[in-house]
Amino acid sequence: MNSTPIKTALIAIAAVIALQLVGGLLFMVSGTYNIAADEPHLKPVRWMLQAGRTRAIQMRSRGLHPPNLRDPSLLKRGLVLYRQNCQPCHGGPGTANEQIGRGIDPKPPPLLTASNKWDDSELFWIISHGLKLSGMPGFAPRLSETDLWGIVAFLRRVVLLSPAEYKRLTSAEDLGADDPLLNWPSNNDYGFAQLKAQGDAKRGLELLQSYGCISCHMVPGLAHQRSAGPPLTRFAERQYIAGSLVNVPSNAVAWITNPKQFKPQTLMPNLNVQPAEALHIAAYLYTSGSSDRLTALERNLQIAKESSTPKLN
């Protein structure tokens, strides 16, 4: 019978798998695997946990219906709750997390960048239920559904706040619902449309060279001379310009044309770059790094424009 070798092979494979399972189980119960939170997971364990986590969140958050997240009263609610419940672990614009948020593994990520990769329903789900095998707690038992959507609303707005604006919002005694920071700018697109229509990255590269920006900055694609200023690599991913302005096209142009208007003491000189030229330069700088952050910001602003009359008690 020629099925015998196949049978033997199958039994051998099954035995190996069984041994591995038993081995894995013994490894886990033996206490060899370090579960201390001040030591990161082994790479394969981390990969497995993360891949499974993303799929699980996507699947379970389907069918949720977000309310109008542009409602200022919802935003205000979210702001207060964020400061109380999230900032201690995740920090905020220009605000580091507190002692309790350190020494957790996986580390609480800065939400200004992490929230970009989730849609509104997925964020709602994460905040409601928390994440197993991590320090991320679920808030559904304590907070109402409106509260939870309020936090999602605030996460969408906070990515466009500068450290100074965040400080003003979180330290205000009482905020009026008409506070501009709690309202979405309906006619300000932060220069995205102009960048798309007129920004010429190729021209930008030439200008970076001719203005001598490389005498202080490392610029991707150009030989670099000295580093008196920060490297301009992965510029699209950066949340702030000079630590103080939200990194959006209009601010990049404003900074490049006249940095001293924002920081009189800055070592970056006014080089008399014209706004149209600065737009080309920004177009080039934004080709460096992942565009996820900018795409998410632009989508946010588009939704803000579309949602006309906000309503929610």
How far apart, in whole angstroms, are the C-alpha atoms of residue 235 and residue 59? 33
Which residues from 52-111 bind ligand HEC, rule CB under 6 A?
85-86, 88-90, 101, 104, 106, 108-109, 111
Q: Which stretch binds ligand HEC (CB under 6 A): 32-40, 169-177, 251-259, 293-301?
A: 251-259
The DSSP call for residue 132 is T
Residue among 93, 96, 100, 106 at smallest CA distance from 35 = 106
CB 5 to ligand HEC: min, Å: 46
Amino acid at 260: K
Q: How do the residues of the chain divide into helix, strand and coil, expressed in percent and rounded to 5?
A: 55, 0, 45
What residues contact 242, with CB distance under 8 A and at least 6 apart?
Answer: 255, 259, 262, 263, 266, 268
Taking residues 20 to 59 in sequence order and writing x for each that binds ligand HEC by CB under 6 A, - otherwise, the string is: ----------------------------------------
Query: Residue 106: is the preceding peptide bond cis (ω within 30°)?
Result: yes
Q: Which of 56, 140, 271, 276 binds ligand HEC (CB under 6 A)?
A: 271
Q: Under rule CB under 6 A, how many of the chain's residues touch ligand HEC?
A: 49
Say what angle helices 43-60 and 120-129 make with each other, to 10 degrees. Answer: 110
Q: How is residue 112 written in tokens?
A: 């200004």
Q: Which stretch binds ligand HEC (CB under 6 A): 29-37, 65-73, 261-269, 287-295?
A: 261-269
CB 52 to ligand HEC: min, Å: 11
Taking residues 122 to 151 in sequence order and writing x for each that binds ligand HEC by CB under 6 A, - otherwise, the string is: -x--xx---x--xxxx-x-----------x
How far apart, in whole angstroms, are the C-alpha atoms of residue 270 and residue 267? 10
Q: Among residues 213 and 304, whose Cβ is nearest to ligand HEC?
A: 213
Residue among 260, 132, 281, 126 at smallest CA distance from 201 = 281
Taking residues 181 to 210 in sequence order and writing x for each that binds ligand HEC by CB under 6 A, - otherwise, the string is: ---------------------------x--
CB 179 to ligand HEC: min, Å: 21
Distance, CA of 53 to chain centre? 18
Say what angle helices 72-85 and 145-158 make with each other, to 10 degrees. Answer: 90
Site residues (vs ligand HEC, CB under 6 A): 85-86, 88-90, 101, 104, 106, 108-109, 111, 114-115, 123, 126-127, 131, 134-137, 139, 151, 208, 211-213, 215-217, 228-230, 232, 238, 241-243, 252, 255-256, 263, 266-269, 271, 273, 281
